[in-house]
Chain A
Amino acid sequence: DIQMTQSPSSLSASVGDRVTITCRASHDVGTALTWFQQKPGEAPKSLIYDASRLQTGVPSRFSGSGSGTDFTLTIGSLQPEDFATYYCQHYVGFPFTFGPGTKVDVK
């Protein structure tokens, strides 16, 4: 199975900050990489697919980049509703696997 890692595991930030989360795959996944946001008690919400494509309705302050084994999710200017946990996941083959998550909380 492809192992997904994320860094950092948590970070503290303020509204307006630029936030960057990285995701690394143990094998080449091309651009078959997606990012999710999850708030406590809620289902994950898809933000980015194909490594860099924004899902419909997702604010443009979210962006994704990378290919192969190294990926980045960037929040251009953190908003109050963005405090949450973020996960990456590959879908290059089965089983799909997820990263352990990066929790973004208030500084």
Chain B
Amino acid sequence: EVQLVESGGDLVQPGGSLRLSCATSGFILSDFFMDWVRQAPERGLEWVARSRTKAHGHTTEYRASVKGRFTISRDESQNQLHLQMNSLQTDDTAVYYCVRGYNGLDVWGQGTTVIVSS
């Protein structure tokens, strides 16, 4: 069974940093694109970042509002996806989902909550 389990969400002050992790199982991480998607009540669902496979150069994509602040990465030896978030802003407050980027966005984790507040 394909499973994605996020961790690392927390309460952090504006300007702070946080690293989210996603433990993957039930499939070969190196064969799949992976994404982070977030959901805040006032902004709905927002795609955040994509990590492509080695065959696609391990390239990445980001939404404009997080580019330069967030970094998506993968550790295929540990079957993990990460999202390093720096210079956090109050607008980054959301539930963050780890998502497999196959046939659209086919499998979602349960989410981890990030709250940016002083």
Contact = CB atoms under 8 A, between A and B. Distances in A.
A36 B111 CA distance: 16
A43 interface: yes
Contacts of B109: 43
Contacts of B10: none
A79 to B, nearest CB: 21
Nearest to A96: B47
A62 to B, nearest CB: 14
Contact of A97 (B35, B47, B50, B103): B47
A21 to B, nearest CB: 15
Contact of B104 (A43, A89, A94, A95): A89
B47 A100 contact: no
Contact of B106 (A55, A95, A96): A55
Contact of A43 (B44, B64, B111): B111
Interface residues of A toward B: which range?
Answer: 20 to 34
A53 interface: yes
Interface string A44-85: 111001100101000000000000000000000000000000
A91 B104 contact: yes
B61 A89 contact: no
A46 to B, nearest CB: 5
Given A46-B103, A53-B103, A87-B45, A95 B108 contact: no
Contacts of A42: 110
Given A43-B111, A94-B61, A95-B63, A34 B45 contact: no
B108 A45 contact: yes
B110 A34 contact: no
Nearest to A53: B103
A46 B111 contact: no
Interface in B24-60: 35, 44-47, 50
Contacts of A53: 103
5 contacts: A34-B104, A46-B108, A49-B106, A94-B50, A97-B47
